[in-house]
Structure 1
Amino acid sequence: MNDQQYPPQQPGWGGPQQPYGQPPFPPQPPKKRSVGKAVGFGCLGIVGLFVVIAIIAAIAGGGDSKSNKSSSPNGVKASASSKKDQPAGAGTAKSSETKAETKPAKKVVTFKAWGTAPAGALGGLDIGYGSDSDTRKGTFKNGKFEATLPLNKDALYYSLTAQLQGSGDINCSVTVDGHTKKGHASGGYNICDAQLNSGLLGGWD
């Protein structure tokens, strides 16, 4: 008999032999792709795409609204810029004008005479008017005379006198703060006299 020893036979006698000294390894099975993971990643990608589109649309819409607000003539920003464009002190000037308009007008005293008064040997109609502290002379022209003086609250009275020069017929009046006093004269050298006196309570009569 032959005493030569042979290496032990590998399983699968008669099949392809493995290299000497290496243990046999079974073939690796093919990797299976997870259907659930693929579907999940696909859904997430679609959702993410919609989110990105929505963000872009929101940004674009916000920019348009801001531009519309800034360009709108009735917008808040436009009104603010128009206020800035106004010159300094414009509001103060308007308020001062309003105050000037609301100031009451200064009161005056009105003196009048009218009618016919032919000139005589001493001249035309002799007119004197004013207050206890201020007397003046007037001129009768074209059948009438009219003059005004600032109202002095400290005056005791305001009066008008008009003396005829031989003939004529005249009327006269004095008006103070809405109160009027009248007089009349006719013929000769008669005098038309109208006078308003200051009352104790500040009125005129």
Structure 2
Amino acid sequence: MTVTKTVTAKPKPEPKATESDEAPAGTAVFKVWGSAPAGADITYGSDSDNLDGSGLPMTKTLKVQDGALYYHISAQLQGGGDIRCSVTIDGQTKTGHARGSYNICSAQLNGDFSGGWD
């Protein structure tokens, strides 16, 4: 008589995901999220560079340039909705909010004289 023993391996637990708005060092992270049924016109970048974004939710990352004076994001609702936006650099985050027809969500971080962001 043959006896067979079945052993079921326990799955390894998955590492816990961490949710953070922190931007990796040397980067600017731009976000827009919420509800915009007719869409939103999104512009983001620095004092020397404006880029267009699209779709919600949107997350874009740029390398922080030496000498940049500020980084900003602007999202204008097209016909209504409720959106939020943010820009994050080196642990500093600025946020904005817009609700209603054609209102604008905006956020901006300014460089300071010590090399930080405010």
Q: TM-score, normalised by structure 1?
A: 0.45
Counterpart selection for 1:135 from 41, 50, 67: 50
Structure 1 unaligned spans of 5+: 1-104
Offset at residue 153 of structure 1 (A) = 2.8
Partner of 2:28: 109
Q: 1:184 and 1:153 mapped to 2: Cα distance?
A: 29
Any conservation in 2 of the 1:181–1:196 contact (CA below 8 Å)? yes
The one-letter code matched in structure 1 to 2:49 is D
Q: 1:197 and 1:174 mapped to 2: Cα distance?
A: 11
Structure 2 unaligned spans of 5+: 1-23
Counterpart selection for 2:85 from 159, 169, 172: 172
CA RMSD of the aligned region, Å? 1.2
Offset at residue 125 of structure 1 (A) = 0.7
Partner of 1:184: 97
- Number of residues paired by the alignment? 95
1:18-57 equivalences in 2 (<5 Å): none
Counterpart selection for 2:37 from 118, 121, 130: 118
Offset at residue 201 of structure 1 (A) = 1.5
Q: 2:115 and 2:26 mapped to 1: Cα distance?
A: 14
Q: 1:154 and 1:173 mapped to 2: Cα distance?
A: 21
Deviating runs (4+, > 6 A) in structure 1?
none
Percent of aligned pairs sharing the same letter: 58
Any conservation in 1 of the 2:27–2:63 contact (CA below 8 Å)? yes
Any conservation in 1 of the 2:77–2:104 contact (CA below 8 Å)? yes
Q: 1:173 and 1:106 mapped to 2: Cα distance?
A: 17
Higher strand share: 2
Q: Which string of whole-angstrom CA distances, capped at 9 and with x for unpartnered residues, describes residues 131-167 of structure 1?
A: 0011100011xx3010000011310000000000111
Q: 2:67 and 2:91 mapped to 1: Cα distance?
A: 17
Higher helix share: 1
Highest RCO, 1 vs 2 (Cα 8 Å, sep ≥ 6): 2
